[in-house]
Amino acid sequence: MDSKAPLPLSVVIVARNEAGNLPRCLAGVRGWVSEIIVALNDTTDGSAAIARESGARVQSLPWKGYRDTKNEAIGLATQPWALCLDADEEVSAALKADIATFFSRPDLGSFAGACFPRKVWFINRWITHGDWYPDYSLRLIRRDRSRWGGDAYVHEKMICDGPVARLRGDLHHYSFPSISSHVSKINLFADLFIQQQAEKNGRFSAASAVFRPFWRFFRAYVIRRGFLDGFPGLYIAWATAFGAFVRYSRLWERENTQKSSKSAS
């Protein structure tokens, strides 16, 4: 393959009001892939103009949950391979080089996808331990052999029909610019958890409410050595545990509110 020719790869980005993040994300993939698709949903900022200025094809999609919206976005691609990104992610120079090397492999056709570590920038440092790293993400896929699966609203995951290679370069993730932004997401994730549990008739468990937060902290801070990330590592472990406690507490609240409503009627 000509090293100067664009790779037979479509970059697919699903975004909503991401004008602040899109320039960085687009700069990391511009010039070495065959096409960039930005699928926007309910967007009111300048995301569309920014994407078009970078040479991306912009498409508006209705929001159908993470899984189904991302699958529809992949369907817009024209290349045999797709790299699925979020607007707050960036392909590092090391990952770009690894992807190029992957596409030059003589056995490329035997793979259905490739995964790589995702590294988060948080409180002015890269997080390299705990629950947040290496966080291997399967994002580089053969479109005819892969799809987003899992839950419709939360915890979607890529499913590939065939072998998956493992690359070493990091996908950079700028998910939380501050502690405040991270705290604000705890209730959002709890909302999605409640919706998920409602759809599958999930029930509150006191044991889960007590032991899951404890386990999440111990795993992140001790087993996965989050303590090596200093105070940010301590915060992440505690916040992860608290987030789990909030989710189960809100599940308890939902069930008891429903019981009260039935009793009143």
From 173, 190, 209, the end of a domain falls on: 173
- What's the confidence (pLDDT) of residue 5? 86
Whole-angstrom Cα distance, residue 250 to residue 253? 5
> Which range among 17-21, 137-141, 205-209 shows the weakest confidence by mean pLDDT?
205-209
- What's the confidence (pLDDT) of residue 45? 97
- What's the confidence (pLDDT) of residue 258? 84
Same domain, 126 and 20: yes
Same domain, 209 and 151: no
Whole-angstrom Cα distance, residue 117 to residue 140? 12
Sequence-separated (6 or more) residues with CB below 8 Å from residue 238: 217
In terms of DSSP H, where are the helices of the chain? 22-27, 47-53, 66-74, 93-103, 179-199, 206-218, 230-264
Same domain, 163 and 218: no
Does 170 have pLDDT greater than 90?
yes
Residue % of the chain over a pLDDT of 70? 97
Establish if 2 belongs to a structural domain: no
**For residue 6, cis peptide bond before it (omega within 30 degrees of 0):** no
Same domain, 200 and 224: yes
Band of the pLDDT at 198, cuts 50, 70, 90? confident
Does 180 have pLDDT greater than 90?
yes
Same domain, 54 and 126: yes
- What's the confidence (pLDDT) of residue 3? 55
- What's the confidence (pLDDT) of residue 200? 83
- What's the confidence (pLDDT) of residue 264? 67
In terms of DSSP H, where are the helices of 9-85? 22-27, 47-53, 66-74
Q: Is 104 helix (H, G, I), strand (E, B) or coil?
A: coil
Sequence-separated (6 or more) residues with CB below 8 Å from residue 166: 114, 115, 116, 136
Band of the pLDDT at 18, cuts 50, 70, 90? very high
Whichever domain contains 112, its CATH number is: 3.90.550.10
CA angle 28, 74, 128 (to 5 degrees): 45
Segments forming the whole domain that contains residue 57: 7-173
Q: 29 near 85, Cβ under 8 Å? A: yes
From 158, 173, 188, the end of a domain falls on: 173
Residues 103-155 have pLDDT tens digits of 999 999 999 999 999 999 999 999 999 999 999 999 999 999 999 998 766 67
From 156, 173, 190, the end of a domain falls on: 173
- What's the confidence (pLDDT) of residue 152? 66
Establish if 1 belongs to a structural domain: no
Per-residue pLDDT, averaged over 24-51, amounts to 97
Establish if 128 belongs to a structural domain: yes
